[in-house]
Homo-oligomer: A and B are copies of this chain.
Amino acid sequence: MTRRPAISVIGDASLIPDSEKYVFARTLGCSLVENGYRIITGGLGGVMEAASAGAHASPHYREGDVIGMLPGADPNEANQYVDIALATGIDHARNFIVANSDAVIAIGGGAGTLSELSYAWVMHRLILAYECPHPGPDAGQFSDWSGIVAGKRLDDKIRYPEIPEDRIYGIRTADEALLLLKTLLPRYVHRPMRAGKR
């Protein structure tokens, strides 16, 4: 038996409905389920809810396709589209677990999302990042982290010598995301490195 890959969808925890990022997250959630992937989110609002709602909207959706890794200890804090609510109880430290899935896709996001992107990079995960066409003005601060890191590497470590183009791959459409997952996931056979002296 081969497990179906589980893809973490991360990003802004609150979004204006029908904004570009909301629509993309919803479309992506639908496409992922359509193509046989499960999705993992942090179980709350914004991108997490939009992607989960999208998953439910797919005609191929099967109950159990949407996993929510909650920061709190109460499974009932999950948004209504979470099929499997895992109450970690370890607050933001759960971001490490969200990042340890088969691949991570970021849509916008602030500092919380950035912690997940950093962890995914450290843990040698395949990472895709949405480049929103109109992310909004940047008023003297970072915001929309998926757009900032798209196409970049988060540090100078060689994660995969056999993948010289390794980076955070920018995406503009759900189709691009699906194509990259199909092509790259088999090559990202991660060999997780533990922190510490070696």
Contact = CB atoms under 8 A, between A and B. Distances in A.
Interface in A154-198: 154-157, 167, 190, 192, 194-197
Contacts of A31: none
Q: Is the interface of A mostly helix, strand, loop or mixed?
A: loop
Contact of A157 (B86, B94, B110): B110
A157 B13 CA distance: 12
B72 A194 contact: yes
B44 A197 contact: yes
A153 B167 contact: no
A143 B115 contact: no
Number of copies: 4
A16 interface: no
B154 A141 contact: yes
Contacts of A95: 96
Interface in A77-99: 77-78, 80, 82-97
Contacts of A65: 64
B154 A74 contact: no
Contacts of A82: 3
A172 to B, nearest CB: 20
A92 B141 contact: no
A92 B119 contact: yes
A149 B156 contact: no
Contacts of A111: 118-119, 121-122, 154-155, 157
B86 A86 contact: yes
Interface of A: 1, 3-4, 6, 38, 40, 42, 44-45, 62-65, 67, 69-75, 77-78, 80, 82-97, 100-102, 109-112, 114-115, 118-119, 121-123, 139-143, 145, 149, 152-157, 167, 190, 192, 194-197
